[in-house]
Structure 1
Amino acid sequence: MADILLVEDSPTNAAMYAAYLEQADHKVTDVNRGHLAVEAISEKSFDLVVLDLKLPDMNGLQVLEELPKGVRRPPTIVLTGNGSVRTAVDAMRAGALDFLMKPCSGDKLVEAVGTCLERSTIFTEEPEVGAAGTGASSKPAAKKNRAGPSGFLGQSPAMTNVFSLIENAAQSNASVFITGESGTGKELCAQAIHKASPRANGPFVAINCAAIPRDLMESEIFGHRKGAFTGAVNDREGAAALADGGTLFLDELCEMDLDLQAKLLRFIQTGVYKRVGDGHERETDIRFVCATNRDPLQEVREKRFREDLYYRLHVIPIGMPALRERGGDTLFLAKRFLADFSAIEKKAFDGFDPEAAAKLETYAWPGNVRELQNVVQNVVVMNGGGMVRADMLPPPLNGPMQSALHLSMNQGASDPGQTDGAVDTSADALLVRPMEELEILAIDAAIRKFNGNVTKAARALEISTSSIYRKKKSWAEKTGEPDLVQTGS
């Protein structure tokens, strides 16, 4: 049983939500004003807060901001009536762990509360863990972290654009096609679309088309009758039935067999399907969201993906940026992950020292956010606490040349003495090259790090901006490759 503070100004909604939570054996204290919530939290320790974002005297963001700095705050779920992704993201940046659309069903509310209680994460104003992250809480340790640390966050221009696309797409019933490298958060994007849509209280069903054998994929989507094939010992409903009234997310769609793509196309066009081994047609109401880490148009050209299916699904495209394209998000997310895993492991970490932070920010992150999450989890699990130093980072980040290594590999640099096309990634091979080329590599890395701001890049390299432009011009004239170093406005 958890002690929950419910902040809701509507008496009808307050009574309904309180009943849902009390039926799940939680103790509920309800208030109808923001200032009363601030007073209650300052006077008593709650296990969790369910907070309406729109209150008569102040909004939910102000309630979070009114808490004194350094106070131990309970996990918070925000309720929003307009499905604004931007507002929900702002609330999560301020410390909320989840958001739900109003009106909210009892099952959705109880499930969200259970997930947040399992995490039992304590956030401060900055996403770092200090004295408050000692793990000295008397609350039981989290058994597991189903929701994943920190959710779908970002504050870079690239992610701000993604949030705007999600908010606009969510209100439509049109199909969404998400593209991006592995680990960029395509499924989190799909979940955000679902949560902000009118279907938020319906099911969200995800299928990874790359993880299921071809022979079983049709059954996974459409279900099957008993005896339809060897091993079909019972009737089974597929994703088409389970997602009725909600969203079906097809991840890695380009891995799907061409024959099944034809059946999927008919299903999308008509909303009608048949279970495997069943002659009876069924109808369902589904919103389709799909994703791939490949170039879908190239897959169409290579005849691996149906062109008609592509145009049926590619109504609202959303491209997820790689972590290296997200400006300052790397350190922002690293701090949030550090706070999350510190609370889970009951350890106290005080952030990243300058050298560790620099390594995080200059690393290429081929595995994107997923790789960053794993790196931070490794640091927390393998170390006792305190300030994270560079030598506490796992390979390859704790090597002396990790930044230059990834820069050289990304640009396809190879040893001129090699004839088989292999890339020599040793430190000597990276360093033993013309000084002018090393200068250009350093300039290019600095400009990318500061999102095209040449002034900041020059300051970091301790040279003048005119030197950067002069060296760029000289390199372009010498090599005929003016795009090797790119600047922004």
Structure 2
Amino acid sequence: MTARPVLLIEDTPSLRLLYESILKSAGHEVTGAADAAGGLAAFRAGDPAVVILDLMLPDRDGLDLMHEMLAARPGTPVIVVTADGSINKAVAAMRAGAHDFLVKPFDQQRFLNAVGDALKAAQAPAEAAGAAGEGDPPGEFIGSSAEMRKIYARIRSVARSMATVFITGESGTGKELCAQAVHRLSNRAAGPFVPLNCGAIPSELLESEVFGHVKGSFTGAISDKQGAAAAADGGTLFLDEICELDLNLQTKLLRFLQTSTIQPVGATRARKVNVRILCATNQDPLDAIRRGRFREDLYYRLHVVPIHMPPLRERGEDVILIAERALRDFAREEGRAFRTLDAEVKALFLGYGWPGNVRQLLNVLRHVVVLNDGPAVTREMLPIELLGPERHPDKTAAEARPLSLQSLVGRPLAEIERLVIEETIARYGGSVPKAARVLDVSPSTLYRKIEGWKARG
């Protein structure tokens, strides 16, 4: 199956023989080594397609050996193997450039899936965008600020590994765009990208949404249902608002991460899936751990490669690039003549705090385009709430300038509801749960409304 061998570095003879047998049965050529010295010699002498590396070796630290190998051949996919009590070391290896990690004991299918994914990464051509600069935006991103160039570089560096990416940032900063970019640049790009908002689904239905259910397993289960994890088989599962996940389901998610096995609600047999996990939250996950709302062991299993999306107010001129691109798109959709922002509006946009980030900016421009015509957006066209004192997400509700009744009169009721919800979320730093408490509704109600608005553009 592989013209180039798989290099297996494992010091336990029985395990080395077992792994070699599994690999050879699957058609792989294997070169084995019992220690770091032998493994490094085999690595230098040959050209392995994949390296399988036990991190606990008798003569040298496995992580140090991996560093030397990747320094010599940076594109080599390395799968690190570790014991259950050494997850932190495996995470460190992933952050240092490993492609995937396996925790002993692992089953044959998980092992072969990891090797297969690594071979795809080794054989995949360099990113087509390689002709573009490394700082150019991947996917749907817009912007060239220093902060975003760092994000683009991180996305490119992690995309072709199997590392779990933990994306943080305020509401509206583009966390799902980040997840989509990682997926599109990965060797799983031809597979499905399945997003699931953990806060938008009632807790009693969440297990079914993630893992599926069989007919008759509970009231209302009138047919079998495929869960998000099964739908993402061969691709990427994106768990948005991961800190909203029910504690009982967090336990099952941890088991899924360890075994790659799912069991639909009511099913008697489990099945294997090959899925990469990406997740995101607008909360502080460490605070959620302190409050007992998020499992610490799950956090460290997911928090392999962190990416923090910067708020729009820290992205400088990016706000103008995003605004003018969106303005032209909206104008084309609505049959308007808008092409640019006038100088006064540009200065206002650069000085505004944008508590709702890119999502708020897009909403402002959509309203302008629907109610006005150009070619240039002027100050008089902007919503009145944008013209008051700058509101910062860390200000309290008492400090922020309220929406005026005058600005709401004459607007459709659905638009007023959306404005009030978005304003409340912005005033509480992008936290949907906090906004839900103030508005006296459940967080899942707000998440469903937000998803509906996004779907309708």
Given candidates 368, 372, 375, the residue that maps to 1:383 is 372
CA contact (8 A) 1:84 1:167 kept: no
How has the CA–CA distance of structure 1 residues 422 and 340 changed in structure 2, closer, same or farther, with 3 Å as cutoff? Answer: closer
TM-aligned CA deviation for residue 357 of structure 1: 1.0
Q: Partners in 1 of 2:272 and 2:286 — Cα distance?
A: 30
Structure 1 counterpart of 2:321, from 317, 327, 332: 332
- The corresponding residue for 2:126 is 82
Residue type matched to 1:390 in 2? R
**Structure 2 equivalent of residue 197 of structure 1:** 186
Q: How does 1:89-108 map to 2 (within 5 A)?
A: none
Equivalent residue letter for 1:327: G
What residue number does 1:402 align with? Answer: 389
8 A Cα contact 1:222 1:241, kept in partner: yes
* CA-CA distance at 1:387 after TM superposition: 1.5
Q: Is the 8 A contact 2:344 2:379 kept in 1?
A: yes
Equivalent of residue 350 in structure 2, options 351, 355, 361: 361
Assess, with a 3 A threshold, how the Cα gap between structure 1 residues 88 and 236 changes in structure 2: closer, same or farther.
Answer: farther
Q: CA deviation at 1:361?
A: 1.0
| 2:410 equivalent to 1:423 | no
1:289 equivalenced with 2:333 (yes/no)? no
Cα offset for 1:90? 8.2
Distance 1:340 1:308 in 2: 44
Separation (CA, whole Å) in 2 of partners of 1:173 and 1:423: 45
* Equivalent residue number for residue 71 of structure 2: none
Which amino acid in the other structure matches residue 290 of structure 2? R
For the 8 Å contact 2:183–2:193, the answer to whether it is kept is yes
Q: Percent identity?
A: 52
Q: Deviations over 1:56-76 (max 9, x none)?
A: xxxxxxxxxxxxxxxxxxxxx
Q: What is the rounded CA distance, in whole Å, between the counterparts of 1:268 and 1:210 in structure 2?
A: 20
Q: 1:207 to 1:391 in 2, by over 3 A?
A: same
Pairs aligned (count) = 279
- Residue number in structure 1 paired with 2:335: 346
2:208 counterpart letter in structure 1: S
1:263 to 252, 275, 281: 252
From 307, 310, 317, give the equivalent of 1:321.
310
Q: In 1, are the aligned partners of 2:135 and 2:152 still within 8 Å (CA)?
A: no
In 2: Cα distance, 1:205 partner to 1:155 partner: 28
Deviation at 1:184, TM superposition (A): 0.3
Change (3 A) 1:376 1:231: same
One-letter code of the match for 1:193? V
The C-alpha deviation readout for 1:455-484, integer Å capped at 9, x for no partner, is: xxxxxxxxxxxxxxxxxxxxxxxxxxxxxx
SS in 1 for 2:375: strand
Aligned partners of 1:245, 1:353: CA distance in 2, in Å?
A: 47
Question: Secondary structure of the equivalent of 1:348?
Answer: coil
Q: Secondary structure at the match of 1:183?
A: coil
Whole-angstrom CA distance in 2 between matches of 1:345 and 1:247? 34
The structural deviation recorded for 1:385 is 2.1
Shift of 1:424: 7.3
SS in 1 for 2:384: coil
Q: Distance in 2 between matches of 1:357 and 1:422?
A: 28
Cα gap change, 1:214/1:322 in structure 2, threshold over 3 Å: closer, same or farther? Answer: same
> 1:223-262 residue pairs with structure 2 within 5 A?
223-262=212-251
One-letter amino acid of the structure 2 residue matched with residue 291 of structure 1: A
Instruction: Choose from 209, 212, 218 the match for 1:220.
Output: 209
Give the match's secondary structure for 2:301: helix
Q: Secondary structure at the match of 1:278?
A: coil
In the other structure, the counterpart of 1:122 is: none
Q: Distance in 1 between matches of 2:382 and 2:130?
A: 33
Cα deviation for residue 384 of structure 1 reads 2.0
Amino acid at match of 1:278: A
Structure 1 residues 88 and 256: CA distance shift in structure 2, 3 A? farther
The structural deviation recorded for 1:84 is 6.0
1:206 maps onto 2:195 in alignment: yes
SS in 1 for 2:338: strand
Give the drift of 1:91: 11
After superposition, the Cα gap between the structure-2 partners of 1:423 and 1:402, relative to the gap in structure 1 and judged at 3 Å, is: closer
Give the alignment's TM-score, normalised by structure 1: 0.54
1:168–1:393 CA distance, 2 compared to 1 (3 A): same
**Which amino acid in 2 is paired with 1:389?**
T
Query: How many Å separate the matches in 1 of 2:195 and 2:244?
Result: 15
Per-residue CA deviations over 1:137-171 (Å, capped at 9, x if unaligned) read xxxxxxxxxxxxxx322110111000001001101
Q: Which residue of 2 aligns with 1:172?
A: 161
Q: Is the 8 A contact 1:86 1:164 kept in 2?
A: no
- Root-mean-square deviation (CA, aligned residues, Å) is 2.3
Question: 1:23 maps to what in 2?
Answer: none
Q: Is the 8 A contact 1:225 1:276 kept in 2?
A: yes
* DSSP-derived class of the 2:340 partner: strand
Query: What residue is the counterpart of 1:155 in the other structure?
Result: 144
Structure 1 SS opposite 2:358: helix
Residue type at the aligned position of 1:201: A
Structure 1 residues 386-395 or 366-375, which shifts more? 386-395
Question: Which of residues 300, 304, 324 in structure 2 aligns to 1:311?
Answer: 300
Give how far 1:87 is off. 5.5
Q: Deviations over 1:204-263 (max 9, x none)?
A: 000000000001100001100000000000011111111000000000000011010000
Alpha-carbon distance between aligned partners in 1 of 2:144 and 2:400, rounded to the nearest angstrom: 36
Residue identity matched to 2:239: L
CA pair 375-187 structure 1, distance change in 2 beyond 3 A: same
Structure 2 residue aligned with 1:447: none
Conserved? CA contact 2:208–2:265, under 8 Å: yes
Structure 2 residues without counterparts, runs of 5 or longer: 1-123, 403-457
**SS state of the match for residue 230, structure 2?**
helix
**Cα deviation digits, residues 171-214 of structure 1 (max 9, x gap):** 11011100000000000000000000000000000000000000
| Contact 1:176 1:317 (8 Å CA) reproduced | yes
Separation in structure 1 between the aligned mates of residue 400 and residue 170 of structure 2, nearest angstrom:
25
Secondary structure in structure 2 of the residue aligned to 1:402? coil
